[in-house]
Amino acid sequence: MNVAKIWVYLSASPLLWLTATLGAYAIAERISVRLDRHPLANPVLIAVAILIGLLKASSTAFPVYFEGAKFVHFMLGPATVALAVPLAENFAEVRRNLIPMVVALLAGSATAVASAVFMAWILGADATMIASIAPKSVTTPIAMGISERIGGLPAVTAILVIATGIIGAVIVTPIMNLFGIRDWAARGFAAGVSAHGIGTARAFLVNPLAGTFAGIGMGLNGVVTALIIGLLVALFG
C-alpha cells in the first residue's frame, strides 16, 4: 500500500484534523512558553497559522478540517459553564467590586459596539461588514447569534471575534502599563470585556485574580451586548 492511499484513508476521518489541531496547539504552547509568554507569541495565532499552512499544503477544504476540529470547537460551551468555578471561588472579591464592575461593564460594552461601528463606517466598510464587526468583543457563540440577527455574516463575525481576542491579548499588558493601571481586578475585567475568552486566557496566564475578573467580564459582556443590540433592533430594526 502506498502513502497516497493511506493519506486518502486518513483524510476521510475526523481523527486526522483533530490530532493536527491538538498538535498545532501543543507546538504553539511550547513556542509561547519558550518566549516567556511574550504577548506577541499568542498561542491561538501561532496554532491557526500552522493549521492554515497544513490545509494549504494538503489542499484540504475547511469543511473537511472542521469535521475533526468540531470536537474542540464544541468544548467552548462547557468551558463557558466552567467559568462559574473561579467565579464562586472568588465570590467575596467579586461582591466587594460589584458596583465598579457593573458601571465599567456598561461603559465598556457601549464603547466596544459604538467605536467598532464608527471606525468601520468611517473607514469605508460596507453595511454587511459593519454588522459583522459590531459584536466583535463578545465571545464567539454569542457574537455569531447577534451578527445573524442584525444582518451580518456569522462566519465572518467568528473570525473578527478571534482576531479581536488576539489583538486584545497582545495589547492588554503594554496598554495597562502605559496607563499605569496596576489593579489586577481592573486589568482582568477590562481584558474580558474587550477581548472575551482569548483575553481571559491571557489574563489567567498573567494572574489568577485577573483571570477570574476577565471570565466574569466576558460572561457579563456577552449577556449585556446581546440585550443592548436586541433592544436596538427591536426599536429601530
- Residues 109-128 touching another protein, rule: CB under 8 A, are 111-112, 115-117, 119-121, 123-126
Selection from 175, 204, 189, 228 nearest residue 43 by Cα: 204
Q: What whole-number distance in Å separates Cα of residue 163 and Cα of residue 221?
A: 17
Residues 1-20 contacting another protein, CB under 8 A: none
Instruction: Give the residue with the Cβ less far from another protein, 6 or 237.
Output: 237
Distances (CA, A) of 194 to 16, 18, 70, 219: 34, 29, 25, 11
> Does the protein bind another protein through residue 223 (CB under 8 A)?
yes
Q: Which stretch binds another protein (CB under 8 A): 1-9, 33-41, 156-164?
A: 156-164
Measured from the Cβ of residue 59, the count of other Cβ atoms closer than 10 Å reads 7
Q: What whole-number distance in Å separates Cα of residue 80 and Cα of residue 82?
A: 5
> Does the protein bind another protein through residue 145 (CB under 8 A)?
yes
Q: Of all residues in the chain, what percent are helix, strand and coil, respectively (each to 5)?
A: 85, 0, 15
Q: Which of 83, 131, 206, 209 forms a contact with another protein (CB under 8 A)?
A: 83
Could you tell me how many residues of this chain bind another protein (CB under 8 A)? 109
Continuous H helices in the chain: 3-11, 14-34, 43-57, 62-74, 76-82, 84-89, 91-96, 98-122, 127-133, 140-149, 154-178, 184-206, 208-236
Q: Which of 39, 135, 152, 219 forms a contact with another protein (CB under 8 A)?
A: 219
> Does the protein bind another protein through residue 27 (CB under 8 A)?
no
Residues 160-199 contacting another protein, CB under 8 A: 160-165, 167-168, 171-172, 175-176, 179, 181, 183, 185-187, 189-191, 193-195, 197-198
Q: What whole-number distance in Å separates Cα of residue 144 and Cα of residue 135?
A: 8
Instruction: Give the residue with the Cβ less far from another protein, 116 or 209.
Output: 116
Q: Which of 16, 147, 200, 209 forms a contact with another protein (CB under 8 A)?
A: 200
Q: Which of 16, 24, 206, 209 forms a contact with another protein (CB under 8 A)?
A: 24
Instruction: Give the residue with the Cβ less far from another protein, 6 or 119.
Output: 119
